């Protein structure tokens, strides 16, 4: 591999000297993890490698699928955990640490973060994605990208776009209307691009409305570059390219990994037969060289990182990632006084701390909760495994292990059960089949509860699991997600009260899989998945339908309490310049320090189109000492309150009343206020095919049309039949016998009305 050079890299000079064959070669990688170099011109090959919650750099030769062991690196909590922190500042610090570890290993681009929406809790890769809400996912991912790139290392925002399942992910067509794409599945990408400009964006494997993402000019050029102003390079997911030359034309700059020459041949043939121009090839080659220009300064050898400091940061991140779902007062446990603590569950001793697939990190060290719980207390701690770590689907309880656990729990003051999903049950490459924990864990919990009056359950899972069938057996429930290499110690910190839980759910915990928005339309069939739930995913679905949930989006308890007071909202400006200022006071009303996450939701009251019941439009994490108070201020923009108009082909803001709701979850609204917002002039453009009712409602065309209709207007205003008549396109009515308006006059009438507006 070529090594980075000390002299500044001159993109223009290299472009001027490249042969056509060299240009073609630069549009793909040289192997599994490296870009292509041109030795005669001093163009080095640089390494890109997996993340996103830790560096996964393979030592030595790469295997053919890139899944061999990797060099030790800090394993931070995956995105499912980090999202529950609702803390962009923490994500920025984690990103900077990741950037330093990349520099130490001379890695130019870390492949992440992933901001695909959690359309269904069954998606096997949900552990690697942030949220069911695009604003939260976008804000957190932007902070992570800013942190990594502050160290001179690039990121790769993925998987663009509509990659919301693993089943048939390489071939399935996601059928999604544009409004749903623009409001749900694209905004997190947009927010990261506009706020943080990731060096690269990774296209997804799947098709979007029948077109492979790797060769979709609407996605890769119109939306990404023209609409959002993306300045970087678009790279394929590994093996996502279908026809390479079409990808070049659409805006796919780099094919990864090396394709054995097939991609190069596709480009050469397309240029030879005139389907692709050398100018189009030059565009992608220049972007590849510009990536090198950015990356080379940070790739000097001999750099190191502080592994101890990064482990401490991983512990802090894990502390903030866990969500206390329920607690009747059993937590926190007193570490100095009390009877025996029974720790039950193999995951306490053998932690499940990350997901499976291409993001698996080899940690620099690994804390387990059992050791940390023993070291953190003077009380007696006993342990029983309780279950086998990798049960087969449908496998029941191991009677001997359950009996051992019951013996450990009998007479204990409290039993802490570590339950969760086996590693093989959720992974990149396939989706989960159900929401349940292994059945043997239910039997274990029930048996332990039968002999112990105080039971705490700690969960380890990468995505939501059903809890309603067994949560009544637990006095406290701590959702641990997957907490990275320091998760064991962090869990002990939380259980003993060294820190107060501060995580909030970034995804809804449903009662049943049958209640979820995509049920019956996930993962699709016959090569197609239809997003028929439209805008209503996650809490948008449950709140709009007023459906019961186990735990709502945004929920999370602490060891203290908070009061929200003095909400004030004020609207200024109009149309795209409209703003709503939101202020309130948050006070810690308990006797312990803690963090509150203030969540602001907007509920349009006068919408002319369908809108979800409410949508998250802002949030703020506030750390407060006992008795302390802080004013929180947020400003909502026209974009925050608006919607994508398929009529106007852009984001618009309707005027009218908006209820601003502030609270601690989507179902825990503490304060409300209604504000009048001055919107845009959204009169639809008229065409001859517009409905007669639309013509009549138009402020210019309506009065003119009525004057032309004369007595015929009565049939359009008739109480019984008028609605039916007004729904007919005006051009069709002109063809009815005796209709007083001529079809030939409609284009001029429409043009005049549109010009007047």
Give the model's pLDDT for residue 1: 42
Which phi and psi (to 5°) does residue 477 adopt? Answer: -135, 115
Whole-Å CA distances, 726 to 488, 723, 733: 66, 5, 9
Catalytic residue among 87, 100, 133, 237: 237
pLDDT tens profile 55-75? 999 876 555 455 567 899 999
pTM of the model: 0.95
Element containing residue 21 per DSSP (H, E): helix 20-26
- Helices (H), ranges, 353-464: 369-375, 399-409, 439-449
Q: Is 475 a catalytic residue?
A: no
Confidence of residue 7 (pLDDT cuts 50, 70, 90): low
Residue 18 has pLDDT above 90, yes or no: yes
Give the model's pLDDT for residue 681: 84
Region 8-23: what's the mean pLDDT? 96
Phi-psi region of 575 (alpha: psi -120 to 50; beta: other; left: phi over 0): left
The number of angstroms, rounded, from the C-alpha of 259 to the middle of its chain's C-alpha atoms is 30
Percentage of the chain lying above the pLDDT 70 cut: 98
Whole-Å CA distances, 251 to 255, 259, 271: 11, 18, 16
Give the model's pLDDT for residue 395: 85
As a whole number of angstroms, the distance between CA 97 and CA 148 comes to: 7
pLDDT tens profile 191-242? 999 999 999 999 999 999 999 999 999 999 999 999 999 999 999 999 999 9
Confidence of residue 29 (pLDDT cuts 50, 70, 90): very high
Region 142-167: what's the mean pLDDT? 98
pLDDT tens profile 674-689? 999 999 988 888 999 9
Whole-Å CA distances, 520 to 151, 178, 498: 45, 21, 44
Q: Which domains does the chain have, with CATH numbers?
A: 11-298 (3.20.20.300), 316-523+540-545 (3.40.50.1700), 562-677 (2.60.40.10), 692-756 (no CATH)
Buried b / exposed e along 345-366 (16+ C-beta atoms within 10 A):
bbbbbebbbbbbbbbbbbbbeb
Confidence of residue 6 (pLDDT cuts 50, 70, 90): low
Tally of residues, the chain: 757
Give the burial class of 687: count Cβ atoms within 10 A of its Cβ; 0-12 exposed, 13-18 middle, 19 or more buried.
middle
Residue 2 has pLDDT above 80, yes or no: no
Residue 550 has pLDDT above 80, yes or no: yes
């Amino acid at each position: 591999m070529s090594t980075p050079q000390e002299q500044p890299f001159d993109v223009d000079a290299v472009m001027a000297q490249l042969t056509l064959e060299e240009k073609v070669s630069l549009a793909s990688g040289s192997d599994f993890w490296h870009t292509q170099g041109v030795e005669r011109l001093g163009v080095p090959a640089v390494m890109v490698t997996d993340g996103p919650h830790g560096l996964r750099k393979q030592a030595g030769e790469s295997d053919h699928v890139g899944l061999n062991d990797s060099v030790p690196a800090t394993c931070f909590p995956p995105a499912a955990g980090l999202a529950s922190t609702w803390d962009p500042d923490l994500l920025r610090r984690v990103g900077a640490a990741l950037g330093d570890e990349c520099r130490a290993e001379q890695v130019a681009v870390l492949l992440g973060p992933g901001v695909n929406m959690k359309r269904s809790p069954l998606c096997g890769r949900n552990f690697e994605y942030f949220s069911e809400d695009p604003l939260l996912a976008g804000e957190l991912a932007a902070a992570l990208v800013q942190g990594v790139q502050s160290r001179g290392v690039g990121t790769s925002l993925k998987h663009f776009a509509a990659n919301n399942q693993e089943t048939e992910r390489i071939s399935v067509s996601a059928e999604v209307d544009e409004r749903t794409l623009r409001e749900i599945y694209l905004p997190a990408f947009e927010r990261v691009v506009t706020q943080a400009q990731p060096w690269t964006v990774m296209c997804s494997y799947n098709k979007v409305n029948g077109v492979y993402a790797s060769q979709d000019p609407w996605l890769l050029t119109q939306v990404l570059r023209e609409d959002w102003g993306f300045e970087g390079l678009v790279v394929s997911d590994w093996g996502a390219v279908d026809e390479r030359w079409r990808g070049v034309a659409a805006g796919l700059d780099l094919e990864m990994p090396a394709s054995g020459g097939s991609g190069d041949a596709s480009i050469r043939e397309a240029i030879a037969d005139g389907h692709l121009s050398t100018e189009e090839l030059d565009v992608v080659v220049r972007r590849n060289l510009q990536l090198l220009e950015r990356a080379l300064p940070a790739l000097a050898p001999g750099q190191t990182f502080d592994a101890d400091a990064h482990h401490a940061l991983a512990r802090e991140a894990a502390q903030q990632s866990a969500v206390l779902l329920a607690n009747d007062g059993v937590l926190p446990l007193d570490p100095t006084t009390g009877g025996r603590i029974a720790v039950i569950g193999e995951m306490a001793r053998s932690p499940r701390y990350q997901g499976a697939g291409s993001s698996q990190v080899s940690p620099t060290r690994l804390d387990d909760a059992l050791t940390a719980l023993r070291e953190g207390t003077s009380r007696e701690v006993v342990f029983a495994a309780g279950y086998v770590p990798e049960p087969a689907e449908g496998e029941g309880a191991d009677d001997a292990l359950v009996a051992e656990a019951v013996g450990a729990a009998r007479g204990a003051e409290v039993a802490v059960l570590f339950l969760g999903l086996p590693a093989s049950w959720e992974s990149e490459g396939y989706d989960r089949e159900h929401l349940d924990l292994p059945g043997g864990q239910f039997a274990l919990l029930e048996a332990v509860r039968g002999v112990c009056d105080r039971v705490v359950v700690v969960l380890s899972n990468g995505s939501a699991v059903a809890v309603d069938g067994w949560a009544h057996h637990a006095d406290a429930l701590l959702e641990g997600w997957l907490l990275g290499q320091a998760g064991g110690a962090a869990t002990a910190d939380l259980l003993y009260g060294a820190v107060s839980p501060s995580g909030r759910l970034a995804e809804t915990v449903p009662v049943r899989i049958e209640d979820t928005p995509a049920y019956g339309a996930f993962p699709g069939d016959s090569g197609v998945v239809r997003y028929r739930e439209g805008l209503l995913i996650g809490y948008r679905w449950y709140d709009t339908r007023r459906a019961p949930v186990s735990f709502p989006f945004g929920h999370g308890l602490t060891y203290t309490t908070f009061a929200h007071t003095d909400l004030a909202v004020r609207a200024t400006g109009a149309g795209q310049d409209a703003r709503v200022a939101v202020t309130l006071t948050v006070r810690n009303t308990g006797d312990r320090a803690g963090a509150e996450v203030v969540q602001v939701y907007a509920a349009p009251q006068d919408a002319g189109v369908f809108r979800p019941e409410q949508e998250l439009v802002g949030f703020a994490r506030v750390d407060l000492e006992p008795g302390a108070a802080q004013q929180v201020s947020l400003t909502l923009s026209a974009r925050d309150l608006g919607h994508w108009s398929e009529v106007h082909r852009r984001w618009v803001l309707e005027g009218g009343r908006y209820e601003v709701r502030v609270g601690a979850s989507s179902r825990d609204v503490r304060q409300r206020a209604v504000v009048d917002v001055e919107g845009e002039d959204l009169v639809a453009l008229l065409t001859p095919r517009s409905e007669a009712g639309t013509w009549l409602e138009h402020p210019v065309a309506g009065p003119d049309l009525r004057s032309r209709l004369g007595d015929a207007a009565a049939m359009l205003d008739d109480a019984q039949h008028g609605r039916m008549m007004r729904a007919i396109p005006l051009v069709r009515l002109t063809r009815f016998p005796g209709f007083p308006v001529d079809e030939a006059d409609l284009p001029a009438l429409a043009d005049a009305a549109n010009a007047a507006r």
